Structures are given as C-alpha cells and as structure tokens.
Amino acid sequence: MKILVSGGTGFIGKALVEYLRLKAHEVRVLQRSYPKEDFYWDVEKNIFDEKAMHQIDGIIHLAGAPIAEPWTGYYQKVLYESRIDTANFLLEKAKDFCPDLSLFISASAIGFYGNEATDKTLTEESEAGEGFLSKLCVAWEAAADQFHEIGARVVKVRTPAVLSKDGGLIRVLNKVFRLGLGTNLGGGNNYMPWIHLQDLLRVYEFALINSSLDGAVNAVADEQITQNEFNLVLSREIKAPYFLPNIPEFVVKRILGERSALVLDGCLLSNMKLKNLGFRMQYPRIEEAMRTIFISEH
C-alpha cells in the first residue's frame, strides 16, 4: 500500500515507518525540514507538497507535541493544535489532492477514558472521561472522524504506555531504577495499560490491511497490571532496588499539576475488538515483554 505518515520522525513514528517499509509498503513521510527523501509541510504557512498525496491509499496521522512536557496554558494550546489543526489541514489537502482517499488512521490515547477508578473493564464503546487529557483525546478523535466526509475508513488507535528500550516510559524508568530511586507515584494501585512497541506497530499494519477494523480501537496488551506490578517486574528484570516508600498522591499532584493524570490515572481496558478480528498480541504478558526489551542483559 502507498501510505503517507505525519509525525514519522518521533519515537513511534520512526519505528513504524521502518516497520512498514520492511513489510513492502511504500511510505512517504511529512516533515517540517527539507530532507530529500521526504515531503515538507508547514500548517501555519499553508505549505504542502501535493506530490505527497499522489495515488496514496491511506494516511497515518501521528503528529502531535510530546504529552509529557509541562501543561502550561500555552502548551495545552500547542497539544491541541499539533494534533487537531494538523488533522484538519490534512483533510483540506486530501479533498484537494486525494478525494478518493480510502483510509485515515489516527493516533489517540487511553487518556480518552480519564480516571475510571473502578474494576469495570472498559471497551471502545465506553464514554469519555473527564479532565484535560480526556477532552484532548475527544477533540483528536473528532478531527479524525471528519475524514468520513470523503468516504474514508477511519481508525483511531487508543494507545497506552508503549514499551521499548529506545524511548517512552521504559527509557525514563530504566535510568531512575538503576539509580536506586524506583518507587510508586501515589498508591501504586492504579491500573496501567501498556503495549510492547512491536505489537503497536503490528496493530497499525493490521488497521491498514484489515478493512473490517473501523472506529476506535484499544491497542492494549492482554494482561492488566497495576503501576506497582509493573515496577516490580521492571526492578526484577534489570536487577535494580525497589524499596523506597511511595510518593504520596498529593505530592505528585503538587509537582505535576494536571499532568499527574499521566501517572496517577488508570483503567481496565478490553482489547476484544482486536481479538474478535483475529489479531493476537506477540507480547500479551508483561514479564515476557520486559524480558524481550532487556534481552541483551541476560
């Protein structure tokens, strides 16, 4: 398939572009610099290389400012614009240069559900939660849904913590735990949905080639774990101490503000929508996933 990718230079984007090319897809990457092999775009200046959309089958929209930066009023605006405005821009250009586009896949996040402090397992049909992150995800997905206007199938990949030694949560916690500073943020009993990077890449390709997959999809591993269980497995895998007392929730909130939702909130999520379509995780359980990530140390 011929695929156009936005956000193809980030942690997930770079891995996905490489993965799809290995799977014999033709991948074009939108960038805000001028590398010879890719396509330049600038939403604010309305600059777009129309050749990027020539005869493409689908768009994968990964563009978005990093969510872990401090959520100042200004940065919250950046988080919105980098996701929603870019999707709106791509829709404009698709109408102009690729009106027969058949597929639009957008990243989203499990932050859609907010903090569902319950043992109830949530599905893609569950309602959105509350708070900034939930509102951001709702707007993000609504921007993706606009591609129905041109008859495209729309898939929204609700993504949890993505596990890889090359970036994301593991890269941060690996350093912290090796310094002997591993601990829980808050009580540690909040559920912590996750997925191995390799499985996330497989979900995206599955969405490309499986026309039955439509709408939101929970890209989460089978095993449901808490923050404390995650930290225990990590500490055992890298043989790092894990005995410091928990950092109280009020302290985490004081330090991180609204951003504390990233580490304190959590929910139980079902991935049955993927399973019912025949998808199986390569790394369904946390111990196996973690062992694979740190295999060079065994």
Segment 81-138, tens digit of pLDDT: 999 999 999 999 999 999 999 999 999 999 999 876 567 899 999 999 999 999 999 9
Whether 248 has a pLDDT exceeding 90, the answer reads yes
* Angle of helix 197-209 versus helix 11-22 axis, rounded to 10: 60
Which residue range forms the structural domain that includes residue 192? 2-295
User: Position 86: which residue type?
Assistant: T
Does pTM surpass 0.85?
yes
What is the rounded distance in angstroms from the CA atom of residue 140 to the CA atom of residue 80?
Answer: 8
- Residue 41's DSSP bridge partners are 48
User: Position 129: which residue type?
Assistant: G
Phi, psi of 217 (to 5 degrees): -145, 130
Task: Give the end-to-end CA distance of the chain in Å, rounded to a whole number.
Answer: 38
Where do we find the tokens 């302290």? 251
Pairing of strands 39-42, 47-48: antiparallel
| Total tally of structural domains belonging to the chain | 1
What is the rounded distance in angstroms from the CA atom of residue 6 to the CA atom of residue 90?
Answer: 9
CATH number at residue 70: 3.40.50.720
* Mean pLDDT (the chain, rounded): 94
